[in-house]
Amino acid sequence: MHDTSLITASPGIARLTADAVRSGLLRPPPPLEAMDLHAISLKEGTKVTEAAVLVPLVNRAAGVQVLLTLRPEHLRDHAGQVSFPGGRVEPGDVDREATALREMTEEIGLAANQVTLLGRLPGYEIPSGFRITPVVGWIEPPFVVAPDPFEVADIFEAPLDYFLDPANYQRREYHFRGRHRHYLAIPFEGRYIWGATAGILFSLCRMLSLQK
């Protein structure tokens, strides 16, 4: 069992409220810019796997934190990566919010009734065929998590303020299935956050940029 109330925060964190985040998510997405070139649109005919993730914002006394997980190395998809709780949509899920909350409970043991849903970020597609719906949730401490060791190697929190600064993001390149692609990365205290997780965090940065 992990008592995340023991995780400390750094000074100077953005003092966003749940209402401010909810308001920011209702804004039309800002126009695309250079750092958005990592985003892709799946080609017609691509086998699509619908998925959803929860972007958990924790309202610490010292400032809002983002809760993130580290995936174990043995997993088939995105092994060893920093991620949000989430996964594939199941037939019994009534909507993407249900998927995100179910996966959160399965992965980190947090009850759905401890999360206040604030809205969605724009959908995010990745070359492997996943179409991800990011759902933003607000969590009030104290709370206790019990990660499933098969799906989660570690849980940690990072200041939301850090992810709301575009200067912290890096744009990088790689080749995948014969195509030249771009991706975002945002290193944080020795952890390398990249790919879909970094892209979703950058989307959150853009949507909340006028709310600080």
Q: What is the pTM assigned to this prediction?
A: 0.85
Running along the chain, 212 residues long, what does each successive block of 10 average in pLDDT? 38 69 90 62 77 97 95 62 94 97 97 97 86 96 93 94 94 67 87 92 88 50
Q: How far apart are the first and last CA of the chain?
A: 34
Phi-psi region of 68 (alpha: psi -120 to 50; beta: other; left: phi over 0): beta
Query: What's the confidence (pLDDT) of residue 8?
Result: 33
Range of 191's domain?
2-208
Half-sphere exposure of 206 (CA within 13 A, CB side): 18
Give the count of domains, the chain: 1
What CATH number is given to the structural domain containing 20? Answer: 3.90.79.10
Query: What's the confidence (pLDDT) of residue 66?
Result: 98
Nearest CA among 131, 122, 123, 120 for reference residue 43:
131
Query: What's the confidence (pLDDT) of residue 36?
Result: 60
Helix or strand run (H / E) with residue 19: helix 18-26
